[in-house]
Amino acid sequence: MKLYTIETGFFKLDGGAMFGVVPKVIWNKLNPADDNNLCTWAMRCLLIEHEDKLILIDTGMGNKQSEKFFSYYSPHGEANLEKSINEAGFSLSDVTDVILTHLHFDHCGGAVRWDDNKTHLIPTFSNAIYWMHETHLQSALHPNPREKASFLSENIVPLIEQNKVKFVKNNLFVLPEITFEVCYGHTESMLLPIIQYKNKEIIYCADLFPSAAHLPLNFVMGYDIRPLDVMSEREKILKRALSNNSYLFFEHDKEIELVSVKENENGRVVVDEVFKILEVG
């Protein structure tokens, strides 16, 4: 097995929304905001090569939305999904499976693209199966008012119409080296992939821990639908990471992709060491 970090670019979100009730005087030191109170965040994905499988976890927001839509989020940076996959030595058609942790646009927008004539939306990965949680899909197709703006039908329906969707059941996947924790605090039934790699465990944190700055249990996002559940789920994952010496992979941290953790003198779980995927093993 070999892992590749796939950078799909950066975007901006309101700092207050990303840190919830945490005062700006605290979070602004962790991810400084611009004059509009917006902070920069990564959209970092993970590519897994194993025998005849090439598995991508999440896809970033893609590039098919309108200029008006993108004006809200200021996507920027030189990296994009296809370019990063190409730089890893692969093409879009090589991807066999796509795991979508959840269907918020910044995690699944790249799953669908315009065809060459820009007349139809088609799956970006023509030879891939797209894996997701069935209960989460239903919540995305029938969103609650709080999340409605994050679930875009154009990111989801073309996959269903092309019979590309399969569901993760009993937390099992096509590779035994990949299992899942299902989380309910950020959104309904979000998947956290857990990868056994070179005698290490890597937990893909999705939006449970968007960044290293979110390790404190109470640094809960305003986007989370069940904040108290987020805190409980974070505590569970951090205990697992301490017990198993796991690495945490961050999807949205603009600088840090992978860390080990430790318990400090106050009993809080904090970053121990910072790594790149290529440094594991």
* pLDDT tens across the length of the chain (281 residues): 999 999 999 999 999 999 999 999 999 999 999 999 999 999 999 999 999 999 999 999 999 999 999 999 999 999 999 999 999 999 999 999 999 999 999 999 999 999 999 999 999 999 999 999 999 999 999 999 999 999 999 999 999 999 999 999 888 788 999 999 999 999 999 999 999 999 999 999 999 999 999 999 999 999 999 999 999 999 999 999 999 999 999 999 999 999 999 999 999 999 999 999 989 97
- Given a contact cutoff of 8 angstroms between Cβ atoms, the answer to whether 45 and 54 are in contact is no
For 65, the domain range is: 2-279
Tokens of 22: 């945490």
Give the β-pairing of 38-50 and 121-123: unpaired
Q: What is the CATH number of the domain that holds 130?
A: 3.60.15.10
- Given a contact cutoff of 8 angstroms between Cβ atoms, the answer to whether 249 and 203 are in contact is yes
> SS3 of 175, please?
coil
With helix as H, strand as E and coil as C, how does 69-126 read?
Answer: HHHHHCCECCCCHHHHHHHCCCCHHHCCEEECCCCCHHHHHHHEEECCCCCCEEECCC
The C-alpha atoms of residue 104 and residue 144 are separated, in whole angstroms, by 13
Strand partners of residue 194: 179, 203
Burial classification of residue 115, based on how many CB atoms lie within 10 Å of its CB (0-12 exposed, 13-18 middle, 19 or more buried): exposed
Residue 249's closest CA among 208, 204, 192, 215? 204
Residue 155: which residues within 8 A CB-CB, separation 6 or more? 62, 103, 105, 108, 109, 111, 112
Question: What is the full DSSP assignment across 183-217?
Answer: E-SSSTTEEEEEEEETTEEEEE-TTTS-SGGG-ST
Number of domains composing the chain? 1
The C-alpha atoms of residue 205 and residue 234 are separated, in whole angstroms, by 10
Note if the pTM is more than 0.75. Answer: yes
